[in-house]
Amino acid sequence: MLKPFFLIGSTITAFAFIGTVCSVHFARYDHRMYGIDDLWHRKCLSVVAMISGVVAGAGLVLLGIMDTYRYHQEHHILLLICFSGLALSALTTTIVYFDQTVKPSKFRQLKFYCAFSAFIVFLEVVMGLTFVGLMYTEHWRLAGIFEWILAFLGCFYMLAFIGFVAVPVPREEVEAGERRPLLQESAEVPT
């Protein structure tokens, strides 16, 4: 039986998602990374994204436990909690970072990854609504297919976060560092 692997996999995925969402939002405001001084409503949305990411992660861990013990009703509830937390986290993260896709930014890679992430979020919202509709109309097999599609799309969503935290060092800083002398005179030579 693959139950231990499923539990370990869902737990690792949950903690990886929580860590990734939190690091992406901390990177936005950390002055060593982007140092963006946002409006208060974007900072509040970042907090909502992190909290909903924690809810989604906790839901995923509990989903793995309940699915292992074959609690089908609890499975459906926790699945909706997990996907709702993921959706809220994804939407708020997209809203917070959307300014990087529409206005000029000195971080070109960030612009690409933000646009890619927004596209994945759009696909996930469409697939998620289809999934919920199929679940409530009791088309279980089709809902299961959409559940797996959502899970695999979520992998691409998490991969897009690599570009959010991989900040290139501005060229001016590299050139200035290269121009500094390696050895500096600390003591005067007696004459």
Report pLDDT digits (tens) over 56-109.
999 999 988 887 677 777 888 888 898 899 999 999 999 998 888 887 777 777
DSSP 16-45: HHHHHHHHHHHHHH-TTTT-----HHHHHH
- Hey, how many other C-beta atoms are within 10 angstroms of the C-beta on 187? 5
Q: What is the pLDDT of residues 28-62, one digit of tens each?
A: 887 777 777 778 888 899 999 999 999 999 999 99
- Tell me the two tokens of residue 69: 């013990």
> Residue ranges per domain, the chain?
3-167
Residue type, 27: A
Q: How far apart are CA 12 and CA 16, in angstroms?
A: 6
- Dihedrals φ, ψ of 140, to 5°? -65, -40
Look up the pTM and report it.
Answer: 0.76
Residues 6+ apart with CB under 8 A from 172: none
